[in-house]
Each structure stands twice: as C-alpha cells, then as structure tokens.
Chain A
Amino acid sequence: MKNLKEISARLEIAKKNIKKDLSTNKSSNAASLGKALKISTEFVAAVVVGSLLGFILDSWFDTRPWLTISFFFMGVAAGILNVIRSAKNMHKNIQK
C-alpha cells in the first residue's frame, strides 16, 4: 500500500514539527505572566498563615503579642523560602 506509507511518512514529519514547536514555545509571554502572578501570592500566603498560626497559639498559651510577632517573622522566612523554591523550579523547567 503506497498510500499508507505516504501517510506514515507525513505523520513522522508532523510529529517532528510538533516537537520543534513545543521546545520553542516554552518561554512564551503568557507563561511568564502566570509565573509572575504565582510568585507574588506565594509570599503573601506564607506571611498570612504564619501570623494566623502565631495568633492562634497566642490565644492558647495566653502570651498575647510575642508568638504572633515571632511567627510573623517565621512566616516571612517561609514566604522567601516559597519564592526561592518556585523560582528554582522555573529555572529547572527552562533548562530542561
């Protein structure tokens, strides 16, 4: 069957083209906008969770301001950790 052979040859070419497209499209504008939005919330969420946790623990142990303050700073640290981690992830994806 000549027809089938032709189709499979065309398929091979099409597949190669798809692969090329995927590798070049990786760092498109839309994707980078998504990444930027992702990082900003990553930081804020950790600070909020840290402060909330400190507030709850404060009302448990009756040590009003101290645990909130220290957990706020730990939340900031966790936020920075989150940002660094997701940035590392992106870096890995770009290099792939």
Chain B
Amino acid sequence: MAANPMQQFEVYRIGPEINLGSINLSFTNASLFMLISATAILILLFVGTKKKLLVPSKIQLITEMSYSFVAKMINDTAGSSAKPFFPFIFTLFMFVLFCNMVGMLPYSFTVTSHIIITFILAAIIFIGVTIIGFMKHGIKYLELFVPKGVPIALLPLIIIIEIISYLSRPISLSVRLFANMMAGHTMLKVFGGFVISLGLLGGWLPLGFSVALTGLEILVAFLQAYVFAILTCIYLNDALNLHH
C-alpha cells in the first residue's frame, strides 16, 4: 500500500502514447474514470427509463428523483426561462455527482480532485453564460456591472469591483469542488495510514475516524455536485433576467 497520501492523485498513462503535434492525447486513468462515470450514468438512465411502470421500480425511482430534483432546482433558482438549459445542467450535475461518487470506491481515482478538470467545467459554464447574456440582452448585458443608485464619483471603482467579482466566479466554482474533494481524500488516506502505523493496539481510533470520514465524504461528494449545479443556475439566472 502507498504510504504517501498524495499518490492517489497521480495521473498515469494507460495503453499506448498518443501525440497530436505537441499535445499529449494519451488515454490516462483520469480519462478512464471519466468514461466509467459517464457510462454509469448512461446505464442508470437507460435501465431506469426502459420499463415505464406506474408504480416505479427502485431504479426507475432513482431516475425520476434525479430528474425532478434538478428540474425543481432550476425552477426555484432561475425560473421558467431557464427550462431550455435543463439538459445541460442535468448532465453537469450527474457528471460531477458520479465522478465524486465513483471516487469514493476503494482503489478508484477521483477525477474531480484535479483542478484542471473542475476549472474546464467552470470555464465552459462561465463562457457559456456570458455568451447567453450577450445574446439575450446585447450590449445592455454590461449593465450587470453598473448597480443602480451609485453616485457617479464612485462609479469607476464600483465597476472595477463588479468586474473582479464577475471574473472570480469560475475560480470560486472550480476551486471549491477541487479543494473539497482533494482535502477529503487526502484526509482519508492519512487516517488510513495511521491505522497501519499504529497497528493492532492503537489503530482502532483512527479506524473509527476513517469510517466517520467516509460518511462525511459521501455527504460532501453529493453536496459539492449540488452546489456546482445550483451556482450554474444562479449565474444563468443573472444572465437571463439581468437583475440581482
């Protein structure tokens, strides 16, 4: 077993090396676990919607619950005008949730504990929301940076602050998910290491801790997926309705 708690985050190549120009496109363990999560989602949704029973089976119930959960979330935070974006937010929520949950399995790899992956997700959302805002409101979208009722003398300062606040969205979105997942998994590994090094005599206390931490981590895994999706809805709401 690895004693180094950071070793679990190592990305390594599986199969042959593929180079496209100077870009390394090899298949890694990160790609493998993303593929596993995506396949798991597809299987769940496929099996859950195959037999449409009036009294749903367990899998059908899970599928319907995840649907109504996301639909309700969008309706509550962004209103009915965000309905066309349901497929995107549902995909995002399920992908992050499954990546987090697959990472909770022993010997697996947590894709969302890498900042590049969470940052790309956040950057897609950020750029997409900005484009949607400009498409819907044109140049008036810039009014987002000019709050109402501010004295003209303060306006340049306020605009800069608002722009910083707007630019901080993708950073806070991606760092939150990445930091939570990485900290949790490192902690689990550290406590696991304590169990080994303290042996049969003193190892029971850290073992209890790691059981509790595993429960907490599952909660965090769900919560972070939820927060990621709900913030996307809030940003979408800002872009669509243009007032805080």
Contact = CB atoms under 8 A, between A and B. Distances in A.
Given A34-B226, A46-B168, A53-B167, A81 B161 contact: yes
B164 A49 contact: yes
Interface in B190-244: 219, 222-224, 226-227, 231, 234, 244
Contact of A46 (B165, B176, B180, B234): B165
Given A53-B167, A74-B160, A41 B175 contact: yes
A42 B162 CA distance: 13
Interface in A27-62: 30, 33-34, 37-38, 41-42, 44-46, 48-50, 53
A45 B161 CA distance: 13
B165 A81 contact: yes
B135 interface: no
Residue of A45, A46, A48, A78 with highest tally of chain B CB at under 10 A: A45
Contact of B167 (A38, A42, A49, A96): A49
Contact of B176 (A37, A50, A79, A89): A37
B139 interface: no
Interface in B22-41: none
Contacts of B11: none
Given A34-B227, A41-B179, A50-B164, A74 B171 contact: no
Contacts of A89: 234
B81 interface: no
A78 B157 contact: no
B172 interface: yes
B172 A41 contact: yes
A73 B242 CA distance: 27
Interface of B: 76, 157, 160-162, 164-165, 167-169, 171-172, 175-176, 179-180, 219, 222-224, 226-227, 231, 234, 244
In order of increasing CB-CB distance, the 3 nearest A-B pairs are A45-B172, A78-B164, A45-B171
28 contacts: A30-B219, A30-B222, A34-B223, A37-B176, A37-B180, A37-B223, A37-B224, A37-B227, A38-B176, A38-B227, A38-B231, A41-B172, A45-B168, A45-B169, A46-B164, A46-B165, A46-B172, A49-B171, A74-B161, A74-B164, A75-B164, A77-B161, A78-B164, A79-B165, A81-B161, A82-B165, A85-B244, A89-B234
